[in-house]
Structures are given as C-alpha cells and as structure tokens.
Amino acid sequence: MRINFSFFLYLFLSFLLIIAQTSVVPTTSLGKFTPDLNLIIIICLAVRTEIPYPFTLATLNGFLMDIFSAGTWGLHTITRFAVFLLLRVGLHNINYDRNHPFLLSLAFFTGTLLMHLLFLVLLLFKQDSGQAAFLSLELALYQAIINTVVGVPMIMLLRKLDGITKA
C-alpha cells in the first residue's frame, strides 16, 4: 500500500491551517468574517477525486480540530466527516466539471450551511443550549459567504501546488 505525496501534502496543510485557525485567526479583529480553514480543506477533499485516502484525511481533520479547539469532544469529527460524505456522494452522483467555479462556490456555500445545521442539531441533542445560542442563520450565511470567497481561490491554488509537486 503506497501513499503518494498528495496525501502528505494535504495532511501537512491541514495541520498548519488548523493551528492557524485555532491560534492565529482568533487573535485578529475580523469578528464574524473569519474563514473556517478546516472546513475549506474538508470541502476540497470532497470535491477533488484524485487525492488518495480522502476519508482518512477528512476524519483526521475533524479529529485534529476537536483536539485543538478544546470544544465538545467529537463534535468537529462528526460534523466535518458528515459534510465530507454528503458532498462527496452528492457530487459523485452528478456529472460535473471539478474545475468550474460555480460548482466550487456551490459546494463551499452548501457545505458550510450543512455544517452549521449539523452543529445545531448535535448541540441541541446534547442539550448544550449555551453553545447552540451562538449559532444563527445570519452567522451561517456570513460564514458560508466568507468560506466561498476564500475557498474557491484556495482550492485552485491547491490544485496548482499539487500539480507542481507531481511534475
């Protein structure tokens, strides 16, 4: 069983982006306009089919986010993996161009809204109304727009970077 360079590239980028998201980004004064870098990587893994072991990478991303965020244990692992699976299955069932910006925008927007819905359901199921009170439709829409604006150029940059490493 041979793992190619793309797997390690995405694992390393995931680790760096999670550290940036949990330590550097919260100290900025962007407020609700901060992108969810971990979710962007998860959606990138769902859209791209040539990356080896995407299920493992998506699960590791959620698990690392749980470790570094110090939140409810397993919440990020479950929600991120569910978003990955739903997008992966949904995009697999249609004939699409993986490089089309509209499809990428749609994937980022719906993936973010889906993640917020799953967060809300899991937090209400856990009866953690303190954390669930911070989730709103307005926040979900802001986050979806920001993730789309940051995610589409980021996925195109990652494709070029991954293409350079294979050449």
Residue 119 lies in a domain: yes
Residue 84 lies in a domain: yes
Please provide residue 128's backbone torsions phi and psi, each rounded to the nearest 5 degrees.
-105, 75
For tokens 């978003």, the residue is 83
Residue 30 lies in a domain: no
pTM of the model: 0.84
60: containing domain: 5-22+35-166
Residue 28 lies in a domain: no
Q: What is the mean pLDDT of the chain?
A: 82
**Number of folded domains in the chain?**
1
pLDDT tens digits for 43-82? 988 887 677 788 888 998 888 888 887 777 788 889 999 9
Instruction: Name the least confident of 56-70, 84-98, 106-120.
Output: 84-98
pLDDT tens digits for 146-162? 999 999 999 888 888 77
Residue 139 lies in a domain: yes
Q: For position 127, what pLDDT does the model report?
A: 66
Residue 27 lies in a domain: no
1: Cβ contacts below 8 Å, ≥ 6 apart: none
Question: What are the DSSP E strand ranges found in the chain?
Answer: none
Residue 116 lies in a domain: yes
The angle formed by the CA atoms of residues 120, 57 and 65, to the nearest 5 degrees, is 45
Output helix, strand, coil percentages for the chain, rounded to the nearest 5. Answer: 75, 0, 25
* Contact in structure between 161 and 8 (CB atoms under 8 Å): no
Count of C-beta atoms within a 10 Å radius of residue 144: 22
